[in-house]
């Protein structure tokens, strides 16, 4: 009986790592979509598939959290971390579906750059999550979180420049609305990556 209440610490970190890997896969598919529109529906479907797989990991994590008496990290931190990571893939799925539904035929260099920054953020996030099992990695993790913050700031600059160019140069209102929506979704992905970085920083400061 007591054995069922003991913490399965490794399992939580395994689940975090699985989800972070799915975030990177989703961001790679988004960048591939932004690079080549020839196989749009396949890419959108691939992002949706990754999001569904990640949802299963989220549910497994929350179920384990409910069943585990003693957890390796604060229960609220575990909940915030996995749900914030899940938000990233929800947004990537939303971005893919928006491109498909809006029937966008071509993409701008600014949108591609935002997709590149999304991928860079998720890759850094995956690295930080992979080190979270040991507080001996605290300094390295905090350094990676700072890099995510810088990438998010880069995305802000790209977003502002893209919006300025869009409102200045795009004559077609429908195209303007479509591209504005895509820019906003992609930039928000980097915001959610920064949210994850902030949660991880909080965990380190509480436990290191």
Complete DSSP assignment for 44-76: HHHHHHHHHHHHHHHHHHHHHHHH-SS-SS-HH
**What local confidence, expressed as pLDDT, does residue 22 receive?**
98
Residue closest to 98 by CA, chosen among 56, 40, 49: 40
Mind listing the pLDDT tens digit of every residue in the chain (208 residues)? 333 444 445 599 999 999 999 999 999 999 999 988 778 888 999 999 999 999 999 999 999 999 888 888 999 999 999 999 999 999 999 999 999 898 887 889 999 999 999 999 999 999 999 999 999 999 999 999 999 999 999 999 999 999 999 999 999 999 999 999 999 999 999 999 999 999 999 999 988 7
Domains detected in the chain: 2-207 (1.20.58.220)
**What local confidence, expressed as pLDDT, does residue 8 receive?**
47
Indicate the pTM of the whole model. 0.92
**What local confidence, expressed as pLDDT, does residue 96 receive?**
94
**What local confidence, expressed as pLDDT, does residue 104 receive?**
83
Q: How far apart are CA 195 and CA 200, in angstroms?
A: 9
Residue 145 dihedral angles phi and psi, to the nearest 5°: -60, -35
Q: How far apart are CA 13 and CA 129, in angstroms?
A: 8
Secondary structure letter of residue 160 according to DSSP: H
């Amino acid at each position: 009986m007591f054995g069922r209440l003991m913490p399965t610490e490794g399992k939580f970190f395994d689940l975090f790592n699985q989800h972070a890997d799915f975030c990177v896969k989703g961001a790679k598919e988004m960048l591939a979509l932004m690079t080549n529109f020839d196989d749009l529906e396949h890419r959108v479907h691939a992002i949706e598939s990754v999001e569904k797989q990640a949802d299963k990991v989220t549910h497994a994590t929350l179920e384990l959290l409910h069943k585990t008496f003693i957890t390796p990290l604060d229960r609220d931190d575990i909940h915030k971390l996995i749900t914030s990571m899940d938000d990233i893939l929800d947004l990537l799925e939303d971005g893919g579906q928006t491109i498909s539904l809006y029937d966008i035929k071509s993409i701008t260099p600014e949108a591609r750059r935002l997709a590149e920054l999304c991928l860079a953020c998720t890759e850094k996030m995956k690295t930080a999550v992979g080190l979270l099992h040991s507080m001996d990695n605290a300094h390295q993790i905090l350094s990676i979180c700072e890099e995510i913050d810088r990438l998010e700031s880069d995305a802000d600059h790209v977003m502002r420049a893209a919006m300025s160019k869009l409102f200045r140069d795009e004559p077609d209102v429908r195209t303007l609305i479509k591209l504005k929506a895509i820019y906003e979704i992609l930039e928000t992905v980097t915001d959610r990556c920064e949210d994850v970085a902030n949660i991880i920083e909080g965990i380190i400061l509480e436990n290191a």
